Amino acid sequence: MSDRILTVEGLEVSLPVPSGTLNAVQGVSFHVDRGETVCIVGESGCGKSLTALAIMDLLPRRARRVARTLTLLGDPLIGVPETKMADLRGNRMGMIFQEPMTSLNPAYTIGNQLEEALLRHRKVPRAKARERAVHLLERVGITAAGQRLRQYPHQLSGGLRQRVMIAMALMTGPDLIIADEPTTALDVTIQAQILHLLAELQREFHMGLVLITHDLGVVARIATRVVVMYAGQVVETGTAAEVFGAPRHPYTRGLLDCIPIPGKTKRGEHLGTIPGMVPSLVGQMEGCHFAGRCNYVIDECRAAPIPLVSAPGRGHAVRCIRADELSRQPAAAEEGAA
Amino acid sequence: MAIFALKRLGVALLVALTVSLITFSMNYLSGDPAITIAGEGARIEDIENIRRYYGFDRPILVQYWDWLWNALHGDLGRSYSLRVPVADVIFERLPTTMLLGACAITFGLTLAIPLGVLAAVKPNSFFDRLALTLAVVGQAMPTFWFGLTLILVFGVMLRWLPITGQASWWNFVMPAVALGYNVAPAVMRLTRAGMLEVLASDYIRTARAKGLRPMKVLFKHALRNAVIPVVALAAVQFGFMLGGSIVIETIFQINGLGYLAWESIQRKDLPMMQAIVLILSIIYVVITFLADMLNAFLDPRIRVT
Ligand SMILES: Nc1ncnc2c1ncn2[C@@H]1O[C@H](COP(=O)(O)OP(=O)(O)OP(=O)(O)O)[C@@H](O)[C@H]1O
Ligand code: SF4
Ligand SMILES: [Mg+2]
């Protein structure tokens, strides 16, 4: 077996809401090996952030978290006391958030916050921690790192703050980094830079990286494996080549149709979106979650829960009862339905 | 930081100057001061003599300048009723009031801030309800009434504490509690609200994502940001407390500025009242300045403006 860093099996997250129970994450499974970049994609609200927070055990207090297996390097992340979790958090696994502008404490210097991340988990002198902070700031592309340490977050731009957050997550040399839409709040011009920096660091530090992003173009280039989520479930997963080269779930195809293709999509042309609404996640749902928006829906789709089925002998799995027949004649089906 | 401090100092001086102008104009608040001093039924010549003696016949700006110059040199005039320099009496009584004020604000803040934090950390818990109850009661209860209740319970019925005078530290317990309790409700609610907001913020999530222990998250990352607005409020509340010390010192017969103010009002001792207003205002200006400095220390974003 390869060097397994993260195993997630049957992860469920639910939240009490006024109208009942919101089943935000419903049996999500995936794994990350050392040196892999696993990308989670899917529309807003499909449960990507809650999946990430559940792994870190940083969910809102009233959220309920259940899993068959949830382990980091073989150590369980569920059912362990908070003190034990806190020892792992920021140590063996780090997280980078979507909001760089508000994710740093305005009252402390960059240096203080970077050093703190290492000092919490390692018995090293402060000077050593500072040295590492400077080294990592330089590594993530911040110039005059020594001076930056004395600056406060409000003196830095959003892009710089996100680089600081990345450096902070790297302070202890973690085995796993979870980045939840790390570039959504940033200027378009630096989004790609940051994502490529993350991919580079992942290789250099030989970590596992879970990257949640909307940028399918970047996913296609840096992902080892892709997890496509829809309404709380994994609907398709496989290597980047499998999922992008031969998408099998109607939702994945819809997503891919939304990407502007350089040269093909004319400037200013309206981008495709999948018509229809995401179903409510409150309460139990019968059958395929995508049925309400699927062009290929048949009665059986709504009859029973649809299992996630792997193609024989491969990791490529899909949650659609018509996947086989659809991928045999994709073009015809596409036209017939349109 | 230095520039910020200088700016704030400039503002403080301007406020102090304005206060001095207002205090000075108290001379003319009740019409012609010479007539006031001479009292009812005085002859015209007497009034004229008094006017010349006190210098009320000179141009008003000259009078103000003289008054200010003297005040800056520690000469606040002579008391009409006690026939001694006002400054002597003031500086004899000032330490008592400052001590009472310090005890009261310390009591108020050590009650309000921890309760506010606890209430925010465990919303709807026992502490939250206790805090809410204390706040409602505190807000609804006038200072003098609370002071009298304390006297009744702890002084008369239980006989735990001395009622009046300032013979020992024990004498300061009830007045400090009565005065300090007044500042607690507002401070407590602001601490709770600030803490709730901060605890839900992204940087607290970051702190937890680093694996920091709950106490470190609470005290290093949350509290510091949550108390920033509280500092400014505490300074304002301290001002109210200075006003409240008139009532409390009178009830508990504590020989401070508050009691002196009460005596001076009864004796229509204008220079004394003037000096008390001036001193209390200056103290308030100084406290506000210190609060600004503390806030600038706590919140680096303030320093640049
Ligand atoms: N604190 C919360 N309280 C109530 N509902 C929540 C909370 N956090 C998330 N949800 C709900 O849970 C569902 C999943 O949310 P999640 O944040 O995981 O989505 P996401 O896939 O990360 O979306 P996005 O792309 O917008 O970040 C959504 O329907 C959301 O409204
Ligand atoms: S199971 Fe049916 S409804 Fe669901 S995606 Fe497949 S074809 Fe569409
Ligand atoms: Mg999200």
User: B173 vs B38, B113, B144, B184, B218, CA distance in Å?
Assistant: 43, 20, 15, 16, 31
Q: What is the mean pLDDT of residues B129-146?
A: 87
More confident residue, A219 or B169: A219
Tell me how far apart the alpha carbons of residues A168 and B212 are, in angstroms, rounded to a whole number. Answer: 13
Provide the b/e sequence for A149-159 (b: ≥16 CB within 10 Å).
bebbbeebeeb
Handedness of CA A91, A95, A101, A103 (dihedral sign): negative
Touching check for B40 and chain A: CB below 8 Å?
A: no
Note the CATH number of domain A4-92+173-336. 3.40.50.300
Q: Which residues of B touch A152 (CB under 8 A)?
A: 300-301
Do B300 and A152 count as a contact with CB atoms less than 8 A apart?
Answer: yes
- Would you state the pLDDT for residue A261? 55
| Domains observed in chain B | 2-72 (no CATH), 86-299 (1.10.3720.10)
- Would you state the pLDDT for residue A332? 42
More confident residue, B211 or A281: B211
**Residue B212 is nearest to which of A99, A103, A120, comparing CB atoms?**
A120
Q: Which residues of A touch B224 (CB under 8 A)?
A: 107
Q: What is the largest CA-CA distance in chain A?
A: 68
- Would you state the pLDDT for residue B216? 94
The residue ranges of chain A whose pLDDT is under 50 are 1, 265-271, 331-338
- Would you state the pLDDT for residue B305? 55
Say yes or no to pLDDT of B239 above 60: yes
The interface predicted TM-score (ipTM) is: 0.88
* Domain boundaries, given as residue ranges, for chain A: 4-92+173-336, 101-171
Do A104 and B206 count as a contact with CB atoms less than 8 A apart?
Answer: yes
Using CA coordinates, name the residue in chain B closest to A88. Answer: B211
Percentage above 90 pLDDT, chain B: 36
| In chain B, residues 222-261 whose CB comes closer than 8 Å to chain A | 224-225
- Would you state the pLDDT for residue A133? 96
Say yes or no to pLDDT of B162 above 60: yes
More confident residue, B80 or A13: A13
Residue A15: CB within 6 Å of ligand 1?
A: yes
Touching check for B197 and chain A: CB below 8 Å?
A: no
Touching check for B201 and chain A: CB below 8 Å?
A: yes
Say yes or no to pLDDT of B68 above 50: yes
Contacts of B234 (CB under 8 A, 6+ apart): B105, B109, B183, B187, B291
For residue A26, report the phi and psi dihedrals to the nearest 5 degrees: -125, 85
- Would you state the pLDDT for residue A272? 53
More confident residue, A18 or B32: A18
Confidence of residue B36 (pLDDT cuts 50, 70, 90): confident
- Would you state the pLDDT for residue A263? 53
Tell me how far apart the alpha carbons of residues A106 and A96 are, in angstroms, rounded to a whole number. Answer: 17
User: B283 vs A336, B76, B177, B218, B278, CA distance in Å?
Assistant: 84, 16, 21, 33, 9
| Residue whose entry in the numeric block shows the structure tokens 């760089």 | A100
Nearest ligand to the CA of A40 is: 1
How far does residue A323's CA lie from ligand 2's centre (Å)?
8
Tell me how far apart the alpha carbons of residues A88 and B103 are, in angstroms, rounded to a whole number. Answer: 45
Count CB-CB contacts under 10 A for residue A82: 11
* Nearest one of A143, A125, A122 to A134, comparing CA atoms: A143
Residue A292: CB within 6 Å of ligand 1?
A: no
- Residue B154: how many CA atoms within 13 Å on its side-chain side? 19
Touching check for B206 and chain A: CB below 8 Å?
A: yes
- Would you state the pLDDT for residue B41? 77
Using CA coordinates, name the residue in chain B closest to A154. Answer: B301
Tell me how far apart the alpha carbons of residues B60 and B48 are, in angstroms, rounded to a whole number. Answer: 17
Do B224 and A104 count as a contact with CB atoms less than 8 A apart?
Answer: no
Contacts of A96 (CB under 8 A, 6+ apart): A162, A165, A166, A169, A177, A178, A179, A180, A182, A198
DSSP states along A135-198: HHHHHTT-SSHHHHTTS-GGGS-HHHHHHHHHHHHHTT--SEEEEESTTTTS-HHHHHHHHHHH
Mean pLDDT of chain B: 88
Contacts of B61 (CB under 8 A, 6+ apart): none
